[in-house]
């Protein structure tokens, strides 16, 4: 019998499912201190938690521990790296709480629009301030959903009865797929300019931290409402504080830097603030509990590890190739443009990389979308692509090309309803260093994807490199490395320049005008 410890008020269905399976001894105790429980049950094989902190001390107290399952989506309370070092798989249950969060968004919108909270307090105090609580209707408004994964899509469905116009942003979301889901695809700027309500549903990571800042907030309509039931760090609170009164914005919030009692940094700018109630429903608790139990059973009985979030590099694969897959896809995204919608991903893995195609696809999808975490599995990647309406094809390779251990990533994006753009890049690892060997028809680049770079494509003629160099110098930017190949026709040239600091895309755009570039992009690896 394998012992499973549940140190939390997780719905009893998890315990019942595991006990009925017949291979588990289950201990559920939410009254005893977690640290004490870990010592008392040092022989536990699996741990099912909600928001409990799984620290190195907890892990060390349980030397037999092999699996930790977070009954919910977020797993920032678990030291996943330390767990990996100890050979412990950490899983989450994404999607189990999606409907609860979607309904919370609607609840916040209605409560704010009809002044439910202050009017309740006023009426209880014996007042009759009907004139002070003139509300507004949601019907007929335009609602923007930033991040159109499981939660974002459910928000759109729940709003359908209000006859609203839904605009959705997601880097993977095609216009066709958005229509199928009851929304129109839009970029971030368009959403913030056109919408009466903007609801945030994106993860917090290096790319999204502080992404809701002054440049977007200044675009919002006067009197518009911003709703955050995602992660606190995606909003620049100082920028919101600066613009809120000036534009008459409303801010409804459910997320904080720490889920704990104490002062909250948004207390002066939040019109409604609740204590992270998004997933706090009986139904969500049931779903997360049953999912965590079924995932543990499938993990043990069938070897299904799709939701492991702290995967190590597969045995036999050099970690540099995992990073290369991520960087090649990141380059494709930078060249295509952040706002372009993905239609098709094609890959080729040569030499000894072919057996690792599934693993490497995960890295590629994570680079192309901020919504997808690179620690997830192949099945999760395929499910995400299907959900977003993006096709994936791993090509049979031609071994006669002699590419050895290299990979090609092709990304096709929508330019408009009738046109597509295809970016193709190939790379390899040489002496432990990642190398980009080809971008579209420009061969033999041998460029290391590290740091910051500027990329230009232009009609070949003398003097262009000098113009670019002078413009960068005036901006205080030094060129550390450069590649300048021609395409096979000799008509076009590519200038790929590694620079000594993160480059502002506005500088690249100005240079593009000077040299009459066919394409220009800034790439920060």
Q: CA 41, 46, 52, 53 torsion: positive or negative?
A: positive
Residue-level pLDDT at 416: 67
Residue with tokens 């797993």: 75
Query: Which distant-in-sequence residues (6+ apart) come within 8 Å of 32 by Cβ?
Result: 7, 40
313 in any annotated domain: no
Coil, strand or helix at 486: strand
Coil, strand or helix at 515: helix
Phi, psi (deg, nearest 5) at residue 238: -65, -40
Query: Could you tell me if 328 and 287 lie in one domain?
Result: no
Edge-to-edge strand list for the sheet holding 492-499: 479-483, 492-499, 452-459, 519-524
Query: Could you tell me if 476 and 386 lie in one domain?
Result: yes
Residue-level pLDDT at 288: 94
pLDDT tens for the 525 residues of the chain, in order: 999 999 999 999 999 999 999 999 999 999 999 999 999 999 999 999 998 999 999 999 999 999 999 998 878 789 998 999 999 999 999 888 899 999 999 999 999 999 999 999 999 999 999 999 999 999 999 999 999 988 999 999 999 999 999 999 988 787 888 899 999 999 899 999 999 999 999 888 777 899 999 999 999 999 999 999 999 999 999 999 999 999 999 999 999 998 889 999 999 999 999 999 998 999 999 999 999 999 999 999 998 887 888 887 787 888 899 999 999 999 999 998 867 788 899 999 999 999 999 989 999 999 998 878 777 778 888 988 988 889 999 998 877 777 789 999 999 987 766 667 899 999 999 988 899 999 999 999 999 998 999 999 999 999 999 999 999 999 999 999 999 999 888 899 999 999 999 888 899 999 999 999 999 999 888
Query: Could you tell me if 57 and 77 lie in one domain?
Result: yes
Query: Could you tell me if 380 and 289 lie in one domain?
Result: no
Q: Give 123-162 as a DSSP string.
A: HHTT---GGGG-----TT-EEEEE--SHHHHHHHHHHGGG
Residue with tokens 């919002």: 220
Query: Could you tell me if 106 and 92 lie in one domain?
Result: no
Q: CA 111, 114, 117, 118 torsion: positive or negative?
A: positive
Residue-level pLDDT at 147: 92
Paired strand residues for 433: 430
Instruction: State how many domains the chain has.
Output: 3
385 in any annotated domain: yes
308 in any annotated domain: no
Residue-level pLDDT at 324: 95
- Residue 397 gets which letter from DSSP? P
CA geometry: angle at 314 spanning 350 and 170, to 5°?
Answer: 80
Query: Could you tell me if 364 and 427 lie in one domain?
Result: yes
Cα distance between residue 48 and residue 11, in whole Å = 11
Query: Which distant-in-sequence residues (6+ apart) come within 8 Å of 445 by Cβ?
Result: 435, 436, 437, 438, 439, 483, 485, 496
486 in any annotated domain: yes
Residue-level pLDDT at 417: 62
Residue-level pLDDT at 314: 82
CATH number at residue 13: 3.40.50.720
Query: Could you tell me if 143 and 187 lie in one domain?
Result: yes
Q: Which domain holds residue 74?
A: 2-96+283-302
Phi, psi (deg, nearest 5) at residue 301: -85, -35
Query: Could you tell me if 190 and 87 lie in one domain?
Result: no
457 in any annotated domain: yes
Query: Could you tell me if 385 and 268 lie in one domain?
Result: no
Query: Could you tell me if 42 and 147 lie in one domain?
Result: no
Query: Could you tell me if 168 and 298 lie in one domain?
Result: no
Copy the structure tokens of residue 486: 């021609």
314 in any annotated domain: no
């Amino acid at each position: 019998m394998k012992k499973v410890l549940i140190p939390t008020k997780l719905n009893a269905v998890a315990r019942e499912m595991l006990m009925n399976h017949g291979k588990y001894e289950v201990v559920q105790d939410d009254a005893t201190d977690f640290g004490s429980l870990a010592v008392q049950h040092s022989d536990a094989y699996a741990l099912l938690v909600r928001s409990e902190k799984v620290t190195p001390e907890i892990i060390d107290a349980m030397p037999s521990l092999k699996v930790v399952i977070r009954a919910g989506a977020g797993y920032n309370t678990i030291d996943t790296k330390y767990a990996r070092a100890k050979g412990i798989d950490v899983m989450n249950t994404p999607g189990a709480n999606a409907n609860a969060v979607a309904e919370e968004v609607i609840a916040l919108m209605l409560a704010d629009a009809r002044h439910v909270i202050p009017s309740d307090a006023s009426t209880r105090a014996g007042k009759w301030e009907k004139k002070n609580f003139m509300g507004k209707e949601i019907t007929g408004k335009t609602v923007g959903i930033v991040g159109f994964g499981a939660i974002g899509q459910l928000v759109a469905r729940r709003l359908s009865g209000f006859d609203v116009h839904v605009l959705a942003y997601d880097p993977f979301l095609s216009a066709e797929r958005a229509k199928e889901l009851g929304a129109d695809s839009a970029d971030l700027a368009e959403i913030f300019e056109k919408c009466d309500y903007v609801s945030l549903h994106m993860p917090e990571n290096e790319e999204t931290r502080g992404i809701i800042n002054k440049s977007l907030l200044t675009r919002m309509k006067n009197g518009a409402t911003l709703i955050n039931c995602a992660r606190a760090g995606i909003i620049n609170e100082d920028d919101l504080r600066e613009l809120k009164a000036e534009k008459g914005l409303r801010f409804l919030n459910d997320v904080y830097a720490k889920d704990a009692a104490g002062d909250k940094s948004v207390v002066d700018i939040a019109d409604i603030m609740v204590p992270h109630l998004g997933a706090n429903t009986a139904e969500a608790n049931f779903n997360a509990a049953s999912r965590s139990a079924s995932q543990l059973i499938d993990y043990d009985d069938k070897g299904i590890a799709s939701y492991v979030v702290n995967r190590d590099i597969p045995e036999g694969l050099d970690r540099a190739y995992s990073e290369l897959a991520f960087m090649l896809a990141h380059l494709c995204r930078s060249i295509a443009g952040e706002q372009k919608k993905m239609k098709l991903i094609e890959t080729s893995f040569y030499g000894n990389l072919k057996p690792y195609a599934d693993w490497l696809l995960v890295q590629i999808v994570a680079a192309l979308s901020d919504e997808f975490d690179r620690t997830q599995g192949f099945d999760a990647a395929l499910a995400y692509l299907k959900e977003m309406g993006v096709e994936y094809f791993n090509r049979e390779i031609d071994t006669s090309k002699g590419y050895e251990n290299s990979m090609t990533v092709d990304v096709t994006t929508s330019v408009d309803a009738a046109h597509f753009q295809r970016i193709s890049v190939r790379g390899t690892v040489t002496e432990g260093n990642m190398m980009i060997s080809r971008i579209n028809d420009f061969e033999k680049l041998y460029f290391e994807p590290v740091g910051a770079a500027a990329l230009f494509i232009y009609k070949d003629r003398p003097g262009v490199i000098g113009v670019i160099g002078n413009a960068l110098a005036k901006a205080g930017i030094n060129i550390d490395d450069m590649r300048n190949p021609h395409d096979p026709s000799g008509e076009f040239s590519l200038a790929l320049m590694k620079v000594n600091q993160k480059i502002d895309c506005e500088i690249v755009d100005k240079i593009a005008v000077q040299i009459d570039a066919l394409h220009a992009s800034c790439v920060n690896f």
